Structure 1
Amino acid sequence: MIDIYCERTGPEFWSEPVNALTNVSFFAAFLLLLPVLRRHWPALSNANRMVSVVLMVLLLSICIGSFAFHTIATKPAMSADVIPISLFQLVFLAAYMHLAMGWGRLEVIAAMAAFFALGALCSALPLPLNGSQTYIAALVFLSILATSHHGHSQRHPKALWLAVACFTLALCFRTLDSLVCPLWPLGLHFLWHLTNGVVLYLCVQAYLDRVSSDTFK
């Protein structure tokens, strides 16, 4: 059993009921994105359709994997939680830079190498962030994409900046989770789930808006 959150007090399946059930935020994001994807679908290229489907599948996988980890709490369940999150980050960032921003392949490869390097550096630093330093690279690169989206998108220019704001808030909840245990045994990790559901919704919405806009065809 892996016990790293305030709410868990034992090895039982429902030892983290709030952390487990708040993964519904990812499923809610998936459901809310279905009509958005349907509306944009005719304007999407085949490549963007494939990326959109992959992101939607990963969104569901995040929901399932995180639920498994907060109930079973084993190493395989942790992998089921971490892998879809990592894949979502990689697919979204690479696809946004290449298909939405029009960066060349070498530029995207260089950017993704920088993303991995920053992620490795932050993970290696002994920062008192309760493990949240592993997401600093994602926050930095999301901010870079938000700057581009804000400067060019005509329909939802603030979507990615809202995602940046929500992700920053989510990281605060994740970081403070262990610190509030003595005062609030439930912890704050469930707020990380709820806020990240909004983050992922905004990211996919921004991507669909950007790649289906006539401005970028």
Structure 2
Amino acid sequence: MDWMQEIDSYCERLSAAYWAEPINAITNATFLISAFIMWRRVRGQDMPLAMGLVLVLGIIGVGSYLFHTHAQVWAAVADVTPILLFILIYIFAVNKNIWRMPWVYALGGTILFVPYAAATVPVFQWVPGLGSSAAYAPVPLLILIYAYLLRNRQPQFARDMTIGAFILILSITFRSLDHPICSQFPIGTHFMWHILNATMLGWMIEVYRRALIRMRAGAVKYPAL
């Protein structure tokens, strides 16, 4: 693999220059802002997994910035790896602390994301216009599945997760529109993917934080597994 190979994936990029995608690069600051806001909200509340998610959220912004400035294979890996890590940590956190699974079961359920994604991504690739965004489409579906399964045990958590899923669906829509409307909108729409994703990821941390607070206060009844 040529780690230095140039990648031209977005409407805004017209050359291999460092600042060929200024809007796509600068809007990654929204991830850092979201991470800072959530750090302020999570700190001191004895929520290590939530704090881990905050850290990864900040790293997502850095990785995406590197990709939209360097636009090379190594930078693409730096872009997508923290996103996958965030997904896996979040699934584990929900399994362990919301579903109240023993950590072994929570970890096993987290690992199942890999075959789930492998099975669903090819299906989403058949959706017209979705393009490379098919790789992300299984995530809002999984969030909605979790929300449905938790609707009776934790209705507020389920509602909040549903909001996050629809923010992500909107974000994926903007990502998918980047190339189709490039001739009419030369800067593209990928920057909205950054802004909405930063909002959604911060919101999902907040959803988890609020759920833990409710559970600690005894406001949520749940059966032991």
TM-score band by shorter chain is 0.7 to 0.9
Q: 2:148 and 2:121 mapped to 1: Cα distance?
A: 25
**Is the 2:140–2:166 Cα contact (8 Å) retained in structure 1?**
no
Q: 2:137 and 2:56 mapped to 1: Cα distance?
A: 21
Q: Deviations over 1:131-166 (max 9, x none)?
A: 111112211221133345654558776432221110
Shift of 1:53: 2.1
| Structure 2 length-normalised TM | 0.84
SS at match of 1:181: coil
Aligned ranges for residues 12-161 of structure 1 at < 5 Å?
12-38=17-43, 41-42=44-45, 44=46, 49-105=47-103, 107-109=105-107, 111-125=109-123, 126-127=125-126, 128=128, 129-147=130-148, 151-153=152-154, 158-161=159-162
Root mean square deviation of aligned Cα: 2.2
Q: 2:99 and 2:15 mapped to 1: Cα distance?
A: 47
**Unaligned 5+ runs, structure 1:** none
SS at match of 1:70: helix
Structure 1 moving runs of 4+ over 6 Å: 154-157
**Unaligned 5+ runs, structure 2:** 1-5
Q: Does the C-alpha gap of structure 1 residues 32 and 184 become closer, same or farther in structure 2, counting only changes over 3 Å?
A: same
**Is the 2:150–2:158 Cα contact (8 Å) retained in structure 1?**
yes
Shift of 1:124: 3.5
Aligned-residue sequence identity (percent) comes to 28
One-letter code of the match for 1:189? H
Shift of 1:113: 4.6
2:3 maps to what in 1? none
SS at match of 2:188: coil
Larger RCO, structure (CA 8 Å, separation 6 or more): 1
Q: Does the C-alpha gap of structure 1 residues 154 and 31 become closer, same or farther in structure 2, counting only changes over 3 Å?
A: farther
Q: Which moved more, 1:28-37 or 1:187-196?
A: 28-37
Shift of 1:175: 1.2
Q: 2:136 and 2:61 mapped to 1: Cα distance?
A: 18
Question: Paired residues, what number?
Answer: 210
Q: Deviations over 1:102-134 (max 9, x none)?
A: 134465355435422231123335434121111
Q: Does the C-alpha gap of structure 1 residues 102 and 134 become closer, same or farther in structure 2, counting only changes over 3 Å?
A: same
Q: 1:141 and 1:123 mapped to 2: Cα distance?
A: 12
Matched, 1:7 2:8: no
Q: 2:104 and 2:197 mapped to 1: Cα distance?
A: 30
Shift of 1:187: 0.9
Q: 2:152 and 2:192 mapped to 1: Cα distance?
A: 30
Q: Does the C-alpha gap of structure 1 residues 156 and 142 become closer, same or farther in structure 2, counting only changes over 3 Å?
A: closer
**Is the 1:149–1:210 Cα contact (8 Å) retained in structure 2?**
no
SS at match of 1:187: coil
Q: 2:152 and 2:193 mapped to 1: Cα distance?
A: 29
Shift of 1:30: 1.0
